[in-house]
Amino acid sequence: MKKNLFSLALIALLSGASYSASAQSAQLSPNSVMVGGMAMLPSKNIVENAVNSKDHTTLVAAVKAAGLVETLQGKGPFTVFAPVNDAFENLPAGTVESLLKPESKAALTKVLTYHVVAGNMTADKLMAAVKAGKGKATLKTVSGGTLTAMMNGPHNVVLVDEGGNVASISTYDVLQSNGVIHVIDKVLLPK
C-alpha cells in the first residue's frame, strides 16, 4: 500500500512538473528572444518587455524620465534600436546624469526618439532596404533625424548616426505586440 501511494505521489509530482514545463513553453512562443536574461514575449509591448531586460535598465530609466512610456506602449508599430547599459556607460562622463535631469527632458526625448523609426523594420526589411539602396538605407527617425543602415559583412547591419558614430546590431528581431526591437551596442546621437 505504501509503495502504491509513493508511486502515485511520484506520478502526480512528475505530471505537475511536466504540466508546468508545458505551460511555460506555451507562454514562450517560437518568436521569443532572450534579452538581458529574460524572454521577450511577442504578446507584450515594447515597454512591458524592456522593463524585464537587465541589459536595458538605463534605457528604461531614460524612457521614464522623458515621459515616453505611454507613447511606446501605444499601437505603433515602432522599430526601436535599443542601446544596452554599456552603451550609455561609454558616453562621455556625466552625459547620462545630465540628460536625466528634469531640465534636460527635451534633449533626452530627442536622443531617445532618434532611436525609433515608425513601422515594423525587421532584419529582413532592413537588409532589403540596404540592398535596394545599393549598400545604404536612410531611415527617418521619430525625432526627425536620419540614421544610415549599412551592411558590415553578409549578415550584420550597422547604423550610422548623423555624427558618423557606428552602432552594431547585436540582437535582431525582438518581436513586440507593437513593433520590433533590435539591440545595439552604442547610443546614437542626432546633430
Residues 69-97: tens digit of each pLDDT: 999 999 999 999 999 999 999 999 999 99
**pLDDT at residue 4 in the model:** 38
Q: For residue 73, give Cα distances in angstroms to 1, 52, 120.
A: 57, 15, 15
* CATH code assigned at 39: 2.30.180.10
> Letter for the amino acid at 43?
S
Q: What number is the average pLDDT over the span 26-54?
A: 79
In a domain, 153, yes or no: yes
Q: Could you give the CA distance from residue 179 to residue 181 in angstroms, rounded to a whole number?
A: 7
Residue 101 has pLDDT above 60, yes or no: yes
- Looking at the fold, whether 21 and 35 belong to one and the same domain comes out as no
**pLDDT at residue 124 in the model:** 95
- Looking at the fold, whether 14 and 92 belong to one and the same domain comes out as no
> Letter for the amino acid at 103?
E
Residue 8 has pLDDT above 50, yes or no: no
Q: What number is the average pLDDT over the span 47-54?
A: 90
β-strand pairing of 78-83 with 116-118? antiparallel
**pLDDT at residue 30 in the model:** 60
Q: Could you give the CA distance from residue 116 to residue 109 in angstroms, rounded to a whole number?
A: 11
β-strand pairing of 78-83 with 38-40? unpaired
Q: What number is the average pLDDT over the span 104-122?
A: 96
- Looking at the fold, whether 109 and 78 belong to one and the same domain comes out as yes
- Looking at the fold, whether 91 and 7 belong to one and the same domain comes out as no
Q: Which domain holds residue 10?
A: 1-29
β-strand pairing of 146-151 with 157-160? antiparallel
The pLDDT > 90 percentage for the chain reads 71
Residue 12 has pLDDT above 50, yes or no: no
**pLDDT at residue 36 in the model:** 77
- Looking at the fold, whether 35 and 96 belong to one and the same domain comes out as yes
- Looking at the fold, whether 3 and 57 belong to one and the same domain comes out as no
In a domain, 191, yes or no: no
Q: For residue 47, give Cα distances in angstroms to 41, 157, 166.
A: 11, 24, 25
- Looking at the fold, whether 10 and 53 belong to one and the same domain comes out as no
In a domain, 14, yes or no: yes
pTM of the complete model beyond 0.75: yes
Question: Considering the chain, what is the average pLDDT of its residues?
Answer: 84
DSSP 36: T
Q: List pLDDT tens digits, range 127-157.
A: 999 999 999 999 999 999 999 999 998 889 9
> Letter for the amino acid at 23?
A
Residue 90 in grid coordinates: 561609454
- Looking at the fold, whether 77 and 116 belong to one and the same domain comes out as yes
The pLDDT > 70 percentage for the chain reads 84
The number of distinct structural domains making up the chain is 2
Residue 21 has pLDDT above 50, yes or no: no
Q: By the 8 A CB rule, do 116 and 142 touch?
A: yes
